[in-house]
Structure 1
Amino acid sequence: MPNTVIQLKTALAYFEAGQPEAAAALCESVLRENPGDEAALELSEIISGPTGVRDEAAFSEALALTQAGNYGDAISILMDLRKTRPGDSQILCALGSAYFHLKLFNKAQLMIERALTLDPCSAEAYAVLGNCRINQGDVYGALEAFEKSHHISPFNSAVSSSYLFYMAFHPDYDGARLSNENRAWGKFYADGLDQIAHDATAPTRPRRLRIGYLSYEYATHVTSFYFGPLARRHDRERFEVFCYAGNERKDGTTERLSRFVDHWVDISSLDAEAVARRIKEDNIHILISTSSYLAKHRLPLAYRPAPVQVCYHNRVATTGLTAVDYLITEELVDPAGETDDLYSEKLVRLTHRCCYSAPAAGPDPGAPPVLDNGYITFGSFNNTAKIGPDVISAWAELLETVKNSRLLVKNIVRSEDDDDWNFLRRMLDEGGVDLRRVSFLPYVKTRNEHFAAYRHVDIMLDTYPFTGGTTCCDALWMGVPVVARVGKTFCRCQAGEYLTKVGLTELICSDWRAYHVAASNLSLNPERLSELRATLRPLMLEKMLNYDLHATEMMTAYDQMWAVFAGGRPTEAFNVNGTQVNQLPLANLKRPIKR
């Protein structure tokens, strides 16, 4: 084949792949050798002419529509572009992103996988692929994609939040690895930042400490369910309360929370540095992040906009930021001396590290369904990406032991495509679970619908290594006992924390054999299931939901933090019990670490 023909075929391939500059350069090379080459002239005209310009304009329009949330219109344009540029990886990536935002994860994954065969070096494409897989329950495939994205471009903005959060779902990522990766991210992001300087303060406490709460989830969201009880209980004579709300979506929860504070600041249009500058302008004394499980939500703290900074509640591991001084926790999930070295922050242990907000109205627990059905219904309402092979093996064995039992799996992910269940169906089938005994419940839109689903379950089966947090509390509120395998670090033991408080320690298991025994024994005791249906909610109210005590302990902790800062003393871990502060002896924090 003549060299000219090869060059022009290559130029056409470049053009169809969305690389018009490379295509034009090859055409120019041919025309320099033979200015009258008709094929080169025709192709050059196509590349530089109205069609090429029109395609680029259409692609830009599609991206703008995606940015504006008009995903259907964007997809229509992109599908038209594919007819003329079938090998364009950018178009395929854009299609994958649009399908992803429409919650059509299987379709999105197909587009992204095709794009990666054409351009295997796209960090952003691997990040989207990982999120497609996680939303279909494939944590192993997701982490593989996230790690490829991270390898191509370390801690790039497309992957950091997902990578650092979902690694906690993977059995091979223990507490030490989570800590190390989050610290590495913190160093990567904070290195080179100009942190905000703060003037030395007078040792006298101001009449009102100015405290700021930062979150990008102050709408109907788990973060708000836990923040609400604290938000409404500050002593406003001693504290001036600011909320920095980064959520673009506002709803009734947003409006309700805004009434509980002195200053509600919408930061949804600001980048991290601008948020930090605004917080500094407000002269905040103590800044509290109420949700740090996503790395992108921690970014303003890296600038240290407040002299004292705290991580509270919705977290997975350490923030990894040296600019964050303290992390709120409790003994049941972070025993003194056993996990302290996993955090860059100093640990502040309260009686209750957070307070679950039960719904003001909603369904009653009702009777356990076994009484009407004649068989036990097990349930799992956790994120399906937490359901790994070990979990499925345990469930398969349990269903085999408990004759005629059923399994009800509910998806917390808002998927719009039944095919998105296919990965989990296949895993269950290959793991030995008879799919005829499994029912799949789709995402429901309201909290009351979610709680009503618990009325169809006798016993909840928790996941591991990432145990249930809110889903465990939801189950207990509806009188449904939870069987949980637990470990030594926060994500692996939070379900055990809640079960301990309501006195169900017999359902806390250290291995899968104990898990099997606990669930199968409970399934044989309908009287006990009926008793728990009637008593778990009152037990939660008594043992877990002392909102006044929690607020008192948080305010006591703030006073102690400010006293340490104002006195020029180094930050150290401490405990709070009511209004009493106990500084932990340093020796207690240097015991051998158990993981």
Structure 2
Amino acid sequence: MTSFARGVAAENAGRLEEARARYLDVLRTEPRNPAALHRLGVVELRLGNPRDAVVLFQKSLAIAKDLEVYLDFGAAMAGMARWDAAATVYAAALRVAPASADAHYGLAMALHRQGRPQDAEPHYRKVLAAFSHLGEVHNNLGVALQDLGRFAEAAAAHREAARIDPTDAASWSKLGVALHAIGQGAEAEAAFRNALGLAPQDADCWHNLSGLLDACGRPAEALAAGRLAVALDPGSARNWLALGNAAGAARRLEEAWRATSAAARLEPLSPAARNNLASALQELGRWREAVAEYRAALELQPDFPVAEINLAQALSGLREADGALTVLRALLARQPANGEAWRRLGSVLAEAVRPDAAVAVLRKAVALAPGEPDAQADLAMAAAMAGWSTQSADACRRVLRLVPGHAAALGQLVHQQRLLCDWRDLDGLEAQLLRQVRAGAEGVSPFDVLSCASTLADQQSAAARWAAAKARGALTATRPAATVAMAAAGDGRLRIGYLSSDFREHAMGHLMVDALETHDRSRFAVTAYSTGLDDGSALRQRFQRGIERFVDLRRHTDADAARTIAADGIDILVDLTGFTSFSRTSILAARPAPVQVNWLGYPGTLGAGYVDYIVADPTVIAPGEDGFFSERVVRLPDCYQPNDRRRAIAEATPTRRDCGLPEDGFVFCCFNSAYKLTPALFDGWARILAAVPGSVLWLYAGNRQVAVNLRREGEARGLDPHRLVFAQPLPHAEHLARHRLADLFLDTLPYNAHTTASDALWAGLPVLTRRGTTFAGRVAASLLRAGGLPELIVDGQEDYEAEAVALARSPGRLRDLRQRLALNRPVCPLFDTPRFTRHLEAAYRAMWDIHRAGGEPRPIAVTAEDAGGPASAMEGEGESA
């Protein structure tokens, strides 16, 4: 046997040192023996000397171009992760043996590892053309196809690998990844579970399953899978990131923060880890820490659009709109086609109360992604803020075409069509909206439900879901111990805080200013917390002068605002905005005061466990209805609504001609907002006008389209369009003065006149109302009772129409009503603000006494011994509905 043969035998037997010696013996006598050089190179490779092996392979190939040498040489390069060199060697092998499957496979792997999947693909396919039974090659081809974004083809490749070897967990796992990418969630889940049945300790597969379940909206299951992935491989940052995503979706915000923190510790130079950590901090309300982490991510990767958009959102949340706009404009300068950046820019502008600019920007976002419902929804909201109801309604319809069950868009569409008096398909839309509310749909603004034919149960249901959404992420704003001690040792006054966006020229501002000024400062320390615009109006200045402390919180985050209120030691925080424009309900969710109250701004329950009381009266919330209110009901003896005794009425009265009214004829009027008008109500008004020849109906129309639509509706009911007259906006004192030209105010239902009814009565104009079945539909009845005109309250539509016609035909009776109203005005409870404020203060004292005694909030009835006597508070058990 020759030395070479003995070397081969030793090599095959694993006696590598002996094989080396034998091959060296051959090379001493035959230094250019290519076979001996080749085999010695293989031995050196097996002995862990790849560099020596490479030299030997090169020498062998210099003598003879042999395929086997090329293949072993390529494997050596691959073993050293020298993928470029490996590719060169395998390419040379193919020049020697173009049909070599091994060379094609080696070249495919080397190219793939260099990030060249498009070049690797044809070589994988060459191998499979000759050896289609190789599952590993199908899998590698599938990975290359995934890298190329060709997920359907990738799924086919992995499926074939799994067919060839159904016991290969890797094939099933890779198939699951590809199926997930093409949206076949159920099939992907089945593939992952097959893989885990074969390899239950595969952390990567648990990671992939967690991501799939998270994407499918199954956060609890995603969380469980993510926890298993982390337990199996706690050193993997990607596993912690998956757990963080799942925990965030499951609203396990602390766990999400801990998981993303772990990922960032494991990979501190990972921009994705820092971005996800920032998002977790943001969800916890730790906005400034979130901003720092977003900036850290961007330092690691300056061109990181997701982090830039997130940073802008965080800055906007911190009320730093200028900083957010700077970030987004810089991103859009680089990526002018980034629709999400345009969308976020529009949102920031809207949040900064620049709706016109927001609409222009959001139109660009929609143009870039017309099939994106969120951009359309944002455009709808911005257009509504700008007062462009037609554009808002159009955008809502586009959202609903894209997502037919989009509850928020449906609610907004109903409201915008009401604002336009566009009733052509309104009944069907309202019925659809109420079905969604009753089915538990998320995202329906409770305010949009008030003006529908909704029940108290509907309103409570919508409010509860809205309030819960506002509470997400809110952190309790605990009163500092020093503040509590200072309050206990203070002046003995009860500290009342009023939270509102309407300390300005606004209907609510006109109602509440006198009551807030009239508080007994010897017993109550009053602070106004303003979250709205400073419009520079005389009314704004009056609030600032007339209230003991006026604190502007507009540029505070909700969390900072809550901390400010808590630090001030407020005992009772009263929300005057509710679910109306510019509300900041999340401040209440942080519980900055031990007692929290819903009053005046929103005629219904807030549905929130963090609001203790609602201020009402026996008319707006009747006995037996307490169960439909999440708050405990506080009933004042006269009316829940205050009024301003200093409300100015212009001395000069315009002429009827000035206002477009006929010189003669009865003038019915309704200055309510257009959204309170309904087709059924208008039917009744048409019948009233038909029964009173020469009469006209004077309506408020701040939007030109309202007049167009109502004239069309009038013609459809046989009305001469000239019998509808439209009033334009005027300064408040002048608006009150023009009430003198009308004869009777006709109220609306299901949403009554509120401030507009008070305005009419203050100006001396009788109001005819129909009592409704909800708080919003009973306010005018409450006002008329407190104003001494209860006979103008009716219960049915027929009675409403009959009474309107009877009054129009009875000038003497109408004159008597006006005279009574004029005589009542100085003395009636409706306009007796000091009396009202004493009743309100009695309610506050009762609330505080219950709290101080350690009791749970319970219903309160405030009574007065006589019309002007001192108020007392009586506690009682609430009645369930």
TM-score (norm 1): 0.78
Write 1 or 2 for the structure with the bigger share of strand. Answer: 1
Q: Distance in 1 between matches of 2:459 and 2:434?
A: 14
Of 679, 690, 693 in structure 2, the residue corresponding to residue 389 of structure 1 is 679
Of 458, 464, 475 in structure 1, the residue corresponding to residue 760 of structure 2 is 475
Q: Distance in 2 between matches of 1:362 and 1:155?
A: 44
**Aligned counterparts, 1:513-592, within 5 A:** 513-543=798-828, 544-572=830-858, 573-577=860-864, 578-586=869-877, 589-590=878-879
**Aligned counterparts, 1:383-532, within 5 A:** 383-411=673-701, 414-415=702-703, 418-442=704-728, 444-532=729-817
| Number of residue equivalences | 539
Residues 451 and 465 from structure 1, CA distance in 2 versus in 1: closer, same or farther, beyond 3 angstroms?
same
Query: Are residue 374 (structure 1) and residue 664 (structure 2) matched?
Result: yes
Of 609, 612, 618 in structure 2, the residue corresponding to residue 331 of structure 1 is 618
Q: 1:217 corresponds to which letter in structure 2?
A: D
Query: Are residue 305 (structure 1) and residue 595 (structure 2) matched?
Result: no
Q: 1:176 corresponds to which letter in structure 2?
A: A
Residue aligning to 1:350: 636
- The alignment partner of 1:230 has SS state of helix
Alignment check: 8 A CA contact 1:195 1:303 kept: yes
What is the deviation of 1:520? 1.0
Query: Are residue 106 (structure 1) and residue 374 (structure 2) matched?
Result: no
Q: Distance in 1 between matches of 2:563 and 2:515?
A: 26
Q: Percent identity?
A: 25
What is the deviation of 1:422? 4.1
Query: Are residue 316 (structure 1) and residue 603 (structure 2) matched?
Result: yes
Q: 2:451 corresponds to which letter in structure 1?
A: F
Alignment check: 8 A CA contact 1:121 1:152 kept: no
- The alignment partner of 1:541 has SS state of coil
Q: Distance in 2 between matches of 1:87 and 1:186?
A: 30
Of 425, 436, 456 in structure 2, the residue corresponding to residue 175 of structure 1 is 456
Residue aligning to 1:232: 517
Query: Are residue 276 (structure 1) and residue 566 (structure 2) matched?
Result: no
Structure 1 unaligned blocks of 5 or more: 1-24, 34-49
Residues 451 and 52 from structure 1, CA distance in 2 versus in 1: closer, same or farther, beyond 3 angstroms?
same
What is the deviation of 1:523? 0.5
What is the deviation of 1:391? 0.9
What is the deviation of 1:257? 0.6
Of 216, 225, 242 in structure 1, the residue corresponding to residue 527 of structure 2 is 242
Per-residue CA deviations over 1:356-380 (Å, capped at 9, x if unaligned) read: 1255432359799799833211111
Alignment check: 8 A CA contact 1:165 1:316 kept: no
What is the deviation of 1:514? 0.9
Structure 2 unaligned blocks of 5 or more: 1-145, 155-331
Per-residue CA deviations over 1:122-166 (Å, capped at 9, x if unaligned) read: 66655654443232135657756867997999544xx5xxx2113
Q: Distance in 1 between matches of 2:652 and 2:802?
A: 25
Residue aligning to 2:317: none
Query: Are residue 222 (structure 1) and residue 512 (structure 2) matched?
Result: no
- The alignment partner of 1:407 has SS state of strand
**Stretch of structure 1 that moved more, 372-381 or 306-315:** 372-381
Alignment check: 8 A CA contact 2:580 2:601 kept: no
Query: Are residue 208 (structure 1) and residue 493 (structure 2) matched?
Result: yes
**Aligned counterparts, 1:118-133, within 5 A:** 118=402, 125-126=409-410, 128-133=412-417
Per-residue CA deviations over 1:289-321 (Å, capped at 9, x if unaligned) read: 123243944332222211112222222111212
**Aligned counterparts, 1:49-88, within 5 A:** 53-56=335-338, 59=342
Q: Distance in 1 between matches of 2:374 and 2:806?
A: 55
What is the deviation of 1:432? 4.7
Q: 1:389 corresponds to which letter in structure 2?
A: P
Alignment check: 8 A CA contact 2:696 2:724 kept: yes
Alignment check: 8 A CA contact 2:412 2:448 kept: no
What is the deviation of 1:64? 5.8
Residue aligning to 2:466: 185
Q: 2:612 corresponds to which letter in structure 1?
A: D
Q: Distance in 2 between matches of 1:169 and 1:127?
A: 11
Query: Are residue 291 (structure 1) and residue 291 (structure 2) matched?
Result: no
- The alignment partner of 1:374 has SS state of coil
Write 1 or 2 for the structure with the bigger share of helix. Answer: 2
What is the deviation of 1:475? 1.3
What is the deviation of 1:421? 3.9
- The alignment partner of 2:827 has SS state of helix
Residues 240 and 66 from structure 1, CA distance in 2 versus in 1: closer, same or farther, beyond 3 angstroms?
closer
Structure with bigger RCO (C-alpha 8 Å, 6+ apart) = 1
Of 645, 649, 666 in structure 2, the residue corresponding to residue 362 of structure 1 is 649
- The alignment partner of 1:379 has SS state of strand
What is the deviation of 1:225? 1.4
Q: Distance in 1 between matches of 2:346 and 2:876?
A: 60
Q: Distance in 2 between matches of 1:112 and 1:500?
A: 40
- The alignment partner of 1:496 has SS state of helix
Residues 86 and 304 from structure 1, CA distance in 2 versus in 1: closer, same or farther, beyond 3 angstroms?
closer
Residues 531 and 369 from structure 1, CA distance in 2 versus in 1: closer, same or farther, beyond 3 angstroms?
farther
- The alignment partner of 2:393 has SS state of helix
Alignment check: 8 A CA contact 2:511 2:755 kept: no
TM-score (norm 2): 0.54
Alignment check: 8 A CA contact 1:143 1:166 kept: no
What is the deviation of 1:487? 2.9
Q: Distance in 2 between matches of 1:460 and 1:26?
A: 71
Alignment check: 8 A CA contact 1:136 1:385 kept: yes
Residues 524 and 238 from structure 1, CA distance in 2 versus in 1: closer, same or farther, beyond 3 angstroms?
same
- The alignment partner of 2:615 has SS state of strand
Q: 1:103 corresponds to which letter in structure 2?
A: G
What is the deviation of 1:580? 4.0
Q: 1:386 corresponds to which letter in structure 2?
A: K
Q: 1:381 corresponds to which letter in structure 2?
A: F
Residues 206 and 180 from structure 1, CA distance in 2 versus in 1: closer, same or farther, beyond 3 angstroms?
farther
Q: Distance in 1 between matches of 2:602 and 2:818?
A: 30
Alignment check: 8 A CA contact 1:92 1:115 kept: yes
- The alignment partner of 1:304 has SS state of coil
What is the deviation of 1:244? 0.8
Residues 319 and 68 from structure 1, CA distance in 2 versus in 1: closer, same or farther, beyond 3 angstroms?
closer
What is the deviation of 1:258? 1.6
Q: 1:102 corresponds to which letter in structure 2?
A: A
Q: CA RMSD in A?
A: 4.0
Residue aligning to 2:550: 264
Alignment check: 8 A CA contact 1:365 1:479 kept: no
Q: Which has the larger radius of gyration?
A: 2
Alignment check: 8 A CA contact 1:277 1:305 kept: yes
Q: 1:363 corresponds to which letter in structure 2?
A: A
Residue aligning to 2:541: 255
Alignment check: 8 A CA contact 1:127 1:149 kept: no
Q: Distance in 2 between matches of 1:462 and 1:93?
A: 33
- The alignment partner of 1:291 has SS state of coil
Alignment check: 8 A CA contact 1:367 1:533 kept: no
Q: Distance in 2 between matches of 1:499 and 1:312?
A: 19
Residue aligning to 1:41: none
Residues 91 and 515 from structure 1, CA distance in 2 versus in 1: closer, same or farther, beyond 3 angstroms?
closer
Q: Distance in 1 between matches of 2:362 and 2:840?
A: 51
